[in-house]
Amino acid sequence: MDQSRAHIGGWRHWLFIALVGTACGLAAAFGDPVIAAILPLALALLAAAFHRPDYFLVFVASLVPLSIGVNDIGANLGLSLPTEPLIFIALAIFAAKLFLGLRIDAEAMQHPMSLAVLFYLIWIFVTALTSTMPLVSFKNALARTWFIVPFYFIFLHLFRQRRLIHLFLIGFTAATLILILYTLGQHAREGFLRSSSYSIMWPFFPDHGMYAATIAFCVPILAVFAFGGGWFGINLNWRIALTVVLGIVLFGIVVSYTRATWLSLVAAAGVYVLFRLRIPFWSIITVLVCTAGYAVSQEERILYELEQNKQGSDDELEGHVKSVSNISTDPSNLERINRWKCALRMVKVHPITGFGPGTYVFQYGPFQLSSEETIISTHSGTLGDAHSEYFSHLSETGIPGFLIYLSILFIVSQRAFRLVYQPDDRRIALLATGIYLGLLTYLTHALLNNYSGIDKVAVPFWGFCAAIIALDLDWMRRKRRAVQP
């Protein structure tokens, strides 16, 4: 057996050498130094993808924070480099492995979360068929599938090996740290002014909102490993280093001047307190439903109180925080409310199937009222989308699509709470805490923005969901084995 493995390993090494040699020969034939540098690397990555597709896909996911978007490669299509071509390679390899007999975990596919995600994809394509703009909707549906299949379904299969979850979290956090250090270096030259924070992270991110939403995923992960690293065998020196990295990430979020992300971190901290108090999941859901019902019944009084706040956005941190609840003079907040009201009017027109995935930005204009428009309102589909993941789903996929999306969030939340509260394995509880709170930062941020169709957020969003469900499946299997005679 050992000789056979050695023979296979040697064969792969010779194949790798042959590929690199061929690449160098082709590069020399073309006489292009750029090709000479890139082609061997590309073929080396291809060989690595065939040799260890699991590590390769984790590597690709880790690169996402550092990917660079190309807006138009032809046919009005965009592309993220180098991640999307690498995703295609990974998908092709896994498809080939399925054809050659790779077994998919049936229990994982039958998990309530997996079924909800599958129904979500089906409904996305149903609403694309009934869309007011079919071509736009099919492109949007394919883009969502492009991220869900590898980073939920394939990751769910791979994450049966817990070390791959750790590698994903480490790789993603390391790439994010590089991104933050680059951005802080650029920002320092501008004196960390709010006015320069909106595009200082270019070319990696188009705006500060998406940038802050992405790096916020890492905050709870770093906190868990920095302060609870002893459970994972992390020595004191590394825990001190992780605490320093956590401080850098938090500083990056503060000087991003992204109010939605600040609120998301407050929400994550609040849920952590609930974890510590071991408040039951159903009690929290009951309180949230009652609070939402009360807010709707007292809408006029609440709006009146909020309208008393005249604080606008400010370079001073305190003033910028106070402007979060200003819905009387702050153009950004007023425009969000305008977009949300448009979404509610749109769903009244198409309550079942919505206007179609990806169509809000093209269709909301006629639903604006002149009395609600702001100085930054537009009818041309610029300056953002629905400014809410939830209102976007409601207007584009109708009430059924919105409810399916909520069911996904509900299931992953319920399973995360169960993992955190289970008494059998402290490491699983801590890992689930960090992953879920990281995910929660975006679920909160998504009240005010919607980025889940973009790779920067889609990959950690679905990857974190897959990690939680993989831990849930592992815990359930071990629990069954423990009670078997």
Q: Which of 110-119, 185-194, 269-278, 353-362 has the lowest mean pLDDT?
A: 185-194
Confidence band for 303, pLDDT divided at 50, 70 and 90:
low
For residue 377, the model assigns a pLDDT of: 82
Measured at the CA of 457, the angle between CA 454 and CA 461, to 5 degrees, comes to 125
- Cα–Cα distance measured from residue 74 to residue 64, given in angstroms and rounded to the nearest whole number: 22
For residue 6, the model assigns a pLDDT of: 41
Query: Which helix (H) or strand (E) segment is 68 a member of?
Result: strand 68-70
For residue 343, the model assigns a pLDDT of: 94
- Check residues 190 and 116 and name the one with the higher pLDDT: 116
Q: Would you give the distance in Å from CA 360 to the centre of its chain?
A: 21
- Check residues 18 and 416 and name the one with the higher pLDDT: 416
Q: What's phi and psi for 57, nearest 5 deg?
A: -65, -40
From residue 403, how far is each of 119, 120, 123, 352 by CA, in Å? 11, 10, 11, 11
Tens of pLDDT along 56-83? Answer: 999 999 999 999 887 766 556 678 888 8
Percentage of the chain surpassing pLDDT 70?
82
**Residue-wise DSSP of 221-263:** HHHHHHHSGGGGT--HHHHHHHHHHHHHHHHHHHTTT-HHHHH
From residue 21, how far is each of 106, 155, 401 by CA, in Å? 42, 33, 52
Q: Which of 253-257, 314-318, 345-349, 441-445 has the lowest mean pLDDT?
A: 314-318
Q: Report whether pLDDT(352) > 70.
A: yes
Confidence band for 286, pLDDT divided at 50, 70 and 90:
very high
Please state the rounded mean pLDDT for residues 32-48. 65
Confidence band for 370, pLDDT divided at 50, 70 and 90:
confident
Please state the rounded mean pLDDT for residues 283-301. 80
Confidence band for 293, pLDDT divided at 50, 70 and 90:
confident
Q: Report whether pLDDT(43) > 80.
A: no
Q: Report whether pLDDT(170) > 70.
A: yes
Query: What's 40's DSSP letter?
Result: H
Q: Which of 113-117, 467-471, 478-482 has the lowest mean pLDDT?
A: 478-482
- Check residues 301 and 192 and name the one with the higher pLDDT: 192
- Check residues 115 and 45 and name the one with the higher pLDDT: 115
Can you read off the two tokens belonging to residue 80? 């993220």
- Check residues 70 and 220 and name the one with the higher pLDDT: 220
- Check residues 25 and 79 and name the one with the higher pLDDT: 79
Q: Which of 195-209, 249-263, 426-440, 461-475 has the lowest mean pLDDT?
A: 195-209
Q: Report whether pLDDT(11) > 70.
A: no
Q: Report whether pLDDT(251) > 60.
A: yes
Instruction: Name the range with the highest mean pLDDT among 47-51, 190-194, 308-312, 330-334.
Output: 190-194
**What is the chain's mean pLDDT, rounded?**
85
Q: Report whether pLDDT(167) > 60.
A: yes
Instruction: Name the range with the highest mean pLDDT among 250-259, 303-312, 323-332, 411-420.
Output: 411-420
Q: Report whether pLDDT(147) > 60.
A: yes
Please state the rounded mean pLDDT for residues 219-223. 97
Tens of pLDDT along 378-408? Answer: 776 666 788 899 999 999 999 999 999 999 9
For residue 17, the model assigns a pLDDT of: 55
Q: Report whether pLDDT(168) > 60.
A: yes
Q: Report whether pLDDT(4) > 50.
A: no
For residue 53, the model assigns a pLDDT of: 86
pTM exceeding 0.85: yes
Q: Would you give the distance in Å from CA 462 to the centre of its chain?
A: 6
From residue 267, how far is each of 263, 273, 406 by CA, in Å? 6, 10, 18
Please state the rounded mean pLDDT for residues 153-168. 94
> How many Å is the Cα radius of gyration of the chain?
24
Confidence band for 51, pLDDT divided at 50, 70 and 90:
confident
For residue 308, the model assigns a pLDDT of: 55
- Residue tagged 């996904």 (tokens): 408
Burial of residue 407 (CB within 10 Å: 0-12, 13-18, 19+) is middle
Can you read off the two tokens belonging to residue 158? 């791979």
- Cα–Cα distance measured from residue 390 to residue 204, given in angstroms and rounded to the nearest whole number: 26
- Residue tagged 């801590």 (tokens): 430
